[in-house]
Amino acid sequence: MSVDTMSAVNGIRTRVLSTIAGQLGNPHGTLGKGFAVMLNRGNKRAIAGAVDAADIAAGATVGFGGGAGLSMLLERVGTNGTVHGFEISPSMLTRAKSKFAAEIGTGRMQLAPGSMTDLPLSDDALDSAITVNTVYFVPDLAAAFAELVRVVRPGGSLVVGIGDPDVMAKMPFTAYGFTLRPVAGVIAALEGAGCTVDHKQLADPPIPHHLLVARPA
Ligand SMILES: C[S@@+](CC[C@H](N)C(=O)[O-])C[C@H]1O[C@@H](n2cnc3c(N)ncnc32)[C@H](O)[C@@H]1O
């Protein structure tokens, strides 16, 4: 292979991997719809594990940042509970609003644009919150956890799900915009935000996950 051909191939590889990482961090456009379906399928087990770990009571008010977990959360809170969802991706928000139009109509679900670093909720508004595979895209973890702890009531549950960082580091697209942190560092950040943390692990493929079950004091 000539030097020119090799550099063209490398350029294409970089563009493809950057596109994948960009879509995972903020799904958008036509491609974003495909990524949403793929995320829901690929991460279903990790999200279900996070919903289980959150120990959500019927009637609870819970928050969530995008994806397949919304229906699982609706099921857990029952008819008298409320599910809040926040997303930075307008495409994901539009998709969820269309899928859950009936629940939004009855007030059981409230969806809004919002970053986990700046949530449109009052202090202690939620009994529980889960966020799975999102913190890789947040540069300031301390700020995000301080905000999540602000909106989850003391004694409530905040479940942060992350893929195993060693396994994630071997996926070529994670070099393009993901911040992969050691699990101990994420636990320390949750403790720094005033939580006790229980560490659970899901060993199942395709990606082993860590579920950090945090409880604000
Ligand atoms: C890799 S996807 C994971 C989606 C789903 N939780 C799952 O596990 O399949 C990351 C999602 O986090 C959202 N996201 C990225 N940064 C965010 C932030 N600061 N606040 C809220 N959501 C964010 C993206 O828009 C994207 O939908």
Cis peptide before 205 (omega within 30 of 0): no
Q: What is the pTM of this model?
A: 0.93
Determine the structural domain holding residue 10 and report its residue range: 3-216
**DSSP code per residue over 168-215:** HHTSGGGGTT-----HHHHHHHHHHTTEEEEEEEE--SSS-EEEEEEE
What is the pLDDT, as a whole number, of residue 65?
A: 46
pLDDT mean for each 10 residues of the chain (217 residues): 84 94 91 85 88 82 65 90 91 90 94 92 93 94 96 95 96 96 98 98 88 97
What is the pLDDT, as a whole number, of residue 67?
A: 63
Amino acid at residue number 117: T
Ligand 1 site, CB within 6 A = 24-27, 39, 43, 47, 65-67, 86-89, 92, 115-117, 132-134, 137-138
Pocket test for ligand 1, best of 88, 115, 176, 202 (most atoms within 8 A of CB): 88
The residue whose CA has the least distance to atom 21 of ligand 1 is: 115
Nearest 5°: phi and psi at 68?
-70, -20
Ligand 1 centroid from CA 25, angstroms: 6
What is the pLDDT, as a whole number, of residue 171?
A: 95
Ligand 1 atom index nearest CA of 26: 25
Residue 150, domain CATH: 3.40.50.150
The residue whose CA has the least distance to atom 5 of ligand 1 is: 67
What is the pLDDT, as a whole number, of residue 59?
A: 62
Ligand 1 centroid from CA 133, angstroms: 6
Q: Distance between CA 80 and CA 56 in Å, rounded?
A: 13
Q: Could you give the number of structural domains in the chain?
A: 1
